[in-house]
Structures are given as C-alpha cells and as structure tokens.
Amino acid sequence: MIAQFLAIAGGFVLLAWSADRFVQGASALAWNLNMSPLIIGLTIVSLGTSAPEIFVSGMAAWQGNAGLSIGNTLGSNIINTSLIVGMAAVIMPLNVHSSIVRHELPILLLVMGFVLLLLFDGSLDRKDGMLLLAGMGAVVSWITWLGMQTRATPDPISEEFAGEVPTHLPMGRALMLLLLGSILLLLSSRLLVWGAVSVAEALGVSDLVIGLTIVALGTSLPELAATVMCALRQLHDIAIGNIIGSNLYNLLAVLCLPGLLDPGPFDKMVLVRDFPVLIGITVALFLMAYGLRGPGRINRIEGGLLVLAFVAYQTLLYFSVTMRH
C-alpha cells in the first residue's frame, strides 16, 4: 500500500497549498470588486477554508463513496471544534469579543438540529441535499446582512479582517490564483480519495471511518494552520469565527453533496456515535465562547479538555471498529 499512502500524503500537502491559493485569489477578487473586508472574511474566507472538504466530499460522492463524504464532513467538524480550537487555546487563551461570532454560535446549534432532523430517517436523499443547499444560501445571506449592519456600529472582528484581506493583488493575479487553486484542489482531492478508498478496502474498514479519521484530519489542515496562526497573532475573534463559519459551511455546503450526487442510506453509527459527539463538543464550545456574563473566553484548561475530548473520540472510534470486526 505504499503507493496509496504516498497518494494520501501528497494529496494532503497539495490540498493545503492549493486551498491557500484558492482563498487568496477569491479574497483578492472580492476586494477588487469592492466588497468590504468584513463580508469577505465572513463569507469567502470561511467558505474557502472549507474548500478541501467541499472538493474531497464532492469527489467521493461522485465516485459512489458517500460514506467517505459524510465521514469527512462530520470528522472535520469534530476536529475543528475539539482538536483545533483546543490546541489554539492551549497555545494562547482565546478571548471572544465579536457580537457577530456570538450570533453565529446559536445559529450553528440550530443548523445542527436541522441537519439531525434530515438524517434521522437513516438516509440522505436528493430532497435532503436540496434542503441543505437552500439552508446554505439562507445562512450566507444572513451572515452578509449581519456584516452589513456593523457599518453603523463597528464590530471588533472588522478590524481583524481588515488587516488580513490581500488588498495588494491586481485582478489578473487574483483570477490566476483562484483558477490555479481550483484546478489543484480537484487534482489533489481525486488523488486523496483514491488513496483513502484503497486503504479502506485493504484494511477492511468502512469509507465512513476513513472519512472520519485520515481524510477529515487532512482536509482540516487549512483550519489548523489558520486558527493557530490567528491565536499567535492575537486575532482571537477570527480564530473562533473561522471555525464556526467552516463548521456551518461543512454541514450545509459539504453535506449536501452526498445527498445530491450519491443519495441513499448511510451507516447507522453516524446517528448513534458520531453526531452525538459533535453535538456534545459544539455545546461545550458554545458555553465556553458565548460569554453569558460578558466576553467569552476559552482558557488553557478548557482548551486541554477539548483536546482530551478529541482523543476520547478517537479511542471510541478505534474500539467501535474493532468490536464490529
């Protein structure tokens, strides 16, 4: 399986590099079209960090591996919420001052409830996919409207985004980066899916488990790098906001793909094991970051607990797979 593991490793590296080019190009293009840094950050950047999940899950569903696609979606959100936020908070405690981030947290919980209702029958069909896609449009519209309301009362996250948008790139270079990133995302996702499916077949484990573990960790690399760098640079609201935005887009823009491209029933463990874990750690993040009596704060102890939750989930996955075999 040397070739398969090399394909996975190469796919990860190329995926992370191409996702960065994609986000840079899309952000610079939006700036050249006179979009505000806040709207660019809340929509294009957050959606761009989910580009690896979108391309990999779309490729997997198109090839008939819906389990890998669903596993990648849920696994990425679990990794985002536990491992990535936890690591960032251990390195640098995260303070949440943005009212926009505080508005997004309850919306994330509502979206999770909506997704759970759609999945409750044990199948993800085209109607579910269309509803998730419509939900995506509604969330992007709401976030854009929310961002526009801050013009009268500036939000702390606005200043953070203002320093992050690549304003120096001309239109031609922005288009080139966007096109290059898109092409390489397609190629790297095809390479990664081939390697992951081959390894799953060789090891005798399901596409779902491979999606929840190896693939989810690889597609979450852009979020990991971005969140840790934001924490080190004291961009705390962006660090948390990008994770919340990425999780929203994963549940809607990514999870709709297996429903649209490869509809049908899925492994029941999604509902009895994986989704309850995602709900639990998301509620924990809400309680830490929302700040019921003032600004939210995720300290080092809470960050360590989130990392331990990730380790516990991986242990649960290992034993559940072992027992099923």
Round to whole Å and give the CA distance between 237 and 248: 16
Residue pointed to by tokens 């394909």? 7
Round to whole Å and give the CA distance between 32 and 35: 7
CATH for the stretch 53-159+205-324: 1.20.1420.30
Contact 209, 200 (CB under 8 A): yes
pLDDT at 248: 94
Higher pLDDT, 95 or 325: 95
pLDDT at 289: 87
Round to whole Å and give the CA distance between 93 and 302: 9
Domain boundaries, the chain: 53-159+205-324
Residue pointed to by tokens 């919306």? 107
Amino acid at 94: L
Round to whole Å and give the CA distance between 42 and 161: 9
Round to whole Å and give the CA distance between 53 and 32: 27
| Percent of the chain topping pLDDT 70 | 97
Higher pLDDT, 115 or 103: 115
Cα–Cα distances (Å) from 3 to 64, 189, 191, in that order, read 22, 16, 11
Closest CA to 161 of 248, 31, 70, 303: 31
Sign of CA dihedral 158, 164, 170, 176: negative
Helix or strand (DSSP H, E) at 37: helix 37-39
pLDDT at 294: 66
Closest CA to 188 of 2, 72, 14, 8: 14
| Least trusted range by pLDDT, from 133-142, 244-253, 293-302 | 293-302
pLDDT at 138: 94
pLDDT at 325: 60
Residue 291 has pLDDT above 80, yes or no: no
Mean pLDDT of 213-226: 85
Q: How confident is the model at residue 152 (pLDDT cuts 50, 70, 90)?
A: low
Residue 264 has pLDDT above 90, yes or no: yes
For 177, the token pair is: 């980066």
pLDDT at 134: 96
Residue pointed to by tokens 């966007």? 178
Q: What is the pLDDT of residues 153-185, one digit of tens each?
A: 667 777 777 777 777 888 999 899 889 988 998
pLDDT at 159: 72
- The distance of Cα 250 from the centroid of its chain, to the nearest Å, equals 5
Q: How far apart are the first and last CA of the chain?
A: 21
Q: Is 109 exposed, middle or buried (0-12, 13-18, 19+ CB in 10 A)?
A: middle
pLDDT at 242: 86
Closest CA to 282 of 105, 83, 140, 101: 105
Average pLDDT, the chain: 88
